[in-house]
Structures are given as C-alpha cells and as structure tokens.
C-alpha cells in the first residue's frame, strides 16, 4: 500500500472518484475491507497503455448495486474498436452484490488481456460477467456466481478461458436463464473445470458459434446441460460446428442437445447420468451431422436426488434424428430405456 502508483479507494469520497483519478499511465486501485454502496453505475473508459488493476480483500471488499431499474454495477471500456491494444485489465478479490431488480454486475467492453480472478457475484438481475462487443485474450477464473440471472455472456470474444468457476441458483432465488452464453462470433473458447449447478434453463448455449472446447466440467440439475444452435440469434451463418465436448459429468434431463445445422461435434469420454429425455439428441438435423460420439458412459444413477426435473425413472440414450455421417462407437449404455 506504500506504492505511489496504488490508489486507495478509502482516500476518495466515492469509488467513481477513485476510478476517475487513475493516471494516464494506468495503475492499481485498492479497495480495503468494507461495503461500498453504488447508487449509479461505476464507469471507466481506458486508453492505450492505461492498464488497470482493481483489487480488494475478497469477501471483505463488497460492492453493492443500489440501483433498481436494471442498471449495471461496474462498466469498464477498453480501447474502442481495437483488437490488439497495449492494455491489461485485472479485477481480483472483489465481491459484487446486486438485487433481482438491478442489472449486470460487470461489463467489460473491448477487453484485451483481461483477467477476472477470485471474485464473488451474488443476486444480480442481469449477468455476472458480460463481454463484448469484441475482444481477445480474456480469462474468468475461480469465481463464485450465485443467484445471478446469467453467469457469463460473451459476444465476439476470441481466446476466452472460463475455468474453475462455480455457478448455481438459490432455493429462494430468481428464475434464471442459461448460465453461460457464447455468441456466434466467439472463437477458440475454453470452458473447463467448472461446476455449473441447479439452473432453470440451459447450462451452456453455443449460439451458432464454432471452434470451442468444453471439458472436465461438472454440470448438474439443468433441463439441458449443453445446447448447440445451428442458427444463432443475430445474423449468423447457419451452422454451429467444430466443438469438443470431453470428460464432462452431465446430469441433466438432456445432456447435449444439437438443434439445426450443427456439424463436427466431438462428444467423447463424458459421463451422462440421469438423462430421462436423452444423453445426446439431434433435432431438425437434416443439414447437420459429421459428429463423433465415442467412449461415453450413459447410465442411471443409483439415486434420483431432490433436484431431478422429472419423476421419470427413464434414461435416454443417443438420438441422432436426421443427422448424417456420424460415428457412434465404444459407448457404454447401462440401463438405457429409450
């Protein structure tokens, strides 16, 4: 704290004043233990080489969104329109608290070399971390995301790593949308080693997007664990393709749902547990296919558990529908009923 390049938020009348005081050459802003009430969205637009390190004391440094009309808590903007600026952004050891009437917790626009590390997001009516409208080299790791409407939404982000995070609903919390959304222009995204739990919609949506790895995650208690959409929401090409889904534990009504023109999925080495609708299902797949579904274990669990979405004791298998050119080999189907 003796480093002159470090600003102490406690020395300012408000957090916005501390952000405004960031030098042109960048620096660090430290949030000591305490509660920081935010009546209006905190904003900071950064310039080339104006690096930002915003950090606190973990669960002790608490930012509270006091707005009630969908406003975000913190909005940071990188160099607008640039893919490769000289700009590093780090947010570490902070707690973001919202309400069901507030908006996103953290928006990073035009992020580059950005890291969100060991932060806690609770109760936001919007998304915990929202990335876009373009950016590259972003990591979100080891964060807790509880009772947020969404955990992550990424649009046109290349080289994104989302790993070691925990997301879940709360019993008395809000109705959630999907936990993770990847827009159609995202490329080379790694969703690895996360625990996504007890959501009300999909755990992960691949919205007409391509070239990602989803590996070694625990996904439980969702209607759909992973949904690939051959047609995205906003002006994409008609495909979702070249996706690796490997080594995951998928406990959901439907494990992997591929809708429309999904092509070239490698679904390998996963454990599908208690999937009464299907472990893998293709819908409207006349233009889809070329999938490799290999080495998976598909079976009913020894118990249903209280979060099972249906009372059915069925265990679904693999339904390719009209998909063409697929390889299905080396899978273990134990107690599959359909």
Q: Is it the case that residue 25 has pLDDT exceeding 70? A: yes
Label residue 265 exposed, middle or buried (CB < 10 Å: 0-12, 13-18, 19+): buried
Cβ atoms of 99 and 125 closer than 8 Å? yes
How many residues are present in the chain?
338
Q: Is it the case that residue 4 has pLDDT exceeding 60? A: no
Indicate whether 127 belongs to any domain. yes
Q: Compute the Cα dihedral for 193, 196, 197, 202 and give only its sign.
A: negative
Q: Quick one: which of 192, 297, 282, 281 has its CA closest to 245?
A: 192
Indicate whether 21 belongs to any domain. no
Tell me the residue range of the domain where 263 lies: 30-334
Q: What is the pLDDT of residue 303?
A: 64
Q: What is the pLDDT of residue 313?
A: 72
Q: What is the pLDDT of residue 5?
A: 76
pLDDT per residue as tens digits for the range 139-175 = 999 999 999 999 999 999 999 999 999 999 999 999 9
Token pair listed for 242: 């070249």
Indicate whether 13 belongs to any domain. no
The full DSSP string for 8-42 is EGGGSSSHHHHHHT--TTEEEEE--SEEEEESS-E
Q: What is the mean pLDDT of residues 321-330?
A: 97
Indicate whether 11 belongs to any domain. no
CATH of the domain at 46: 2.160.20.10
Indicate whether 182 belongs to any domain. yes
pLDDT per residue as tens digits for the range 275-306 = 999 999 999 999 999 999 999 999 998 765 54
Q: Quick one: which of 57, 92, 176 has its CA closest to 127?
A: 176
Cα separation, 324 vs 186, whole angstroms: 26
Indicate whether 85 belongs to any domain. yes
Q: What is the pLDDT of residue 139?
A: 98
Indicate whether 25 belongs to any domain. no
Q: What is the mean pLDDT of residues 192-219?
A: 97
Q: Is it the case that residue 2 has pLDDT exceeding 90? A: no
- Mean of all residue pLDDT scores within the chain: 94
* Distance set, CA 27 to CA 19, 22, 255 (Å): 10, 6, 45
Q: What is the pLDDT of residue 311?
A: 44
Cα separation, 104 vs 280, whole angstroms: 32
Token pair listed for 333: 């189907």
Q: What is the pLDDT of residue 234?
A: 66
Q: What is the mean pLDDT of residues 86-114?
A: 98
Q: Quick one: which of 308, 309, 317 has its CA closest to 335?
A: 317
Indicate whether 49 belongs to any domain. yes
pLDDT per residue as tens digits for the range 126-139 = 999 999 999 999 99
Structural domain tally of the chain? 1
């Amino acid at each position: 704290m003796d480093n002159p390049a470090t600003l102490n938020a406690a020395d300012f009348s408000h957090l916005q004043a501390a952000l405004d005081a960031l030098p042109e050459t960048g620096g660090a802003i430290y949030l000591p233990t305490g509660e920081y009430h935010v009546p209006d969205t905190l904003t900071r637009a950064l310039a080339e080489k104006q690096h930002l390190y915003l950090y606190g004391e973990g669960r002790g440094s608490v930012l509270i969104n006091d707005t009630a009309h969908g406003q975000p808590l913190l909005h940071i903007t990188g160099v607008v329109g640039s893919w490769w600026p000289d700009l590093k952004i780090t947010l570490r050891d902070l707690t973001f608290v919202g309400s069901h009437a507030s908006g996103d917790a953290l928006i990073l626009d035009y992020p580059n070399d950005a890291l969100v590390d060991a932060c806690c997001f609770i109760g936001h009516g919007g998304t915990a971390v929202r990335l876009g409208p373009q950016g590259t080299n972003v990591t979100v790791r080891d964060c807790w995301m509880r009772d947020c409407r969404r955990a992550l939404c990424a649009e046109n982000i290349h080289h994104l790593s989302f790993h070691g995070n925990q997301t879940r609903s709360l019993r008395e919390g809000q109705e959630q949308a999907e936990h993770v959304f990847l827009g159609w222009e995202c490329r080379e995204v790694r969703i690895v080693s996360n625990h996504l739990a007890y959501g009300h919609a999909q755990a992960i949506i691949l919205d007409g997007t391509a070239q990602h790895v989803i590996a070694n995650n625990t996904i439980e208690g969702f209607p759909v664990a992973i949904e690939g959409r051959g047609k995205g929401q906003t002006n994409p090409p008609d495909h979702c393709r070249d996706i690796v889904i490997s080594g995951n534990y998928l406990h959901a009504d439907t494990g992997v749902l591929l809708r429309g023109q999904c092509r070239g999925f490698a679904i390998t080495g996963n454990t599908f547990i208690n999937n009464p609708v299907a472990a893998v299902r293709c819908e409207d797949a006349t233009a889809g296919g070329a999938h490799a579904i290999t080495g998976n274990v598909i079976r009913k669990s020894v118990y249903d558990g209280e979060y099972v979405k249906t009372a059915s004791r069925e265990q679904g298998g693999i339904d390719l529908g009209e998909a063409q050119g697929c390889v299905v080999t080396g899978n273990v189907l134990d107690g599959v009923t359909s």
